[in-house]
Amino acid sequence: MKIQKYGIVLDGDGRNVLEKEFSKDYSNIDSLDSPEKIVKVMEDVFRLSDRAEEYMYLICMTAGCNPIGFFEVSHGTCRATVAGMREIFVRALLCGASDIVAVHNHPGGRIQPSGEDFRVTGRIQEAADLLGIIFCDHIIISRDSYFSFSENGKMQK
């Protein structure tokens, strides 16, 4: 599997375009069809649980759970990060994602979602539904553990 991290830049006309930041061959996993596999990639490649501040990543995928691109969508403080719906869905639409997963870390070690984590998850779900994109999961990573909204029955159906 190829891990490709993209950023968004403006072209000469002021339009958003994808810019490849790095690409890495990753042979440990063949698809991202489970929270455990997603957590493994985020730890192995992005070292998310080692970050001192909160980061949110978006994983854009095909319908077969193969990654198209990984995006850092926000970087906040040691207690919070703000993820804008526009920023999430510009990335998903530019790369042609049919499925998406949101992943962020809790540097303080507390794995349980905050009220804001639930609100953001609901807003992503609503926007994804409107656009016909499948929002597969929102995963919170902390040292040695994770919380999957999907595994815990917290995703809207």
The CA distance from 4 to 18, in Å, is 11
pTM above 0.75, yes or no: yes
Q: Which fold has domain 28-148?
A: Cytidine Deaminase; domain 2 (3.40.140)
Q: What is the pLDDT along the chain (157 residues), one digit of tens a residue?
A: 999 999 999 999 999 999 999 999 999 898 999 999 999 999 999 999 999 999 999 999 999 999 999 999 999 999 889 889 999 999 999 999 999 999 999 998 889 999 999 999 999 999 999 999 999 999 999 998 999 999 999 987 6
The CA distance from 150 to 102, in Å, is 11
The CA distance from 98 to 110, in Å, is 31
Task: Please tell me the predicted confidence (pLDDT) of residue 157.
Answer: 64
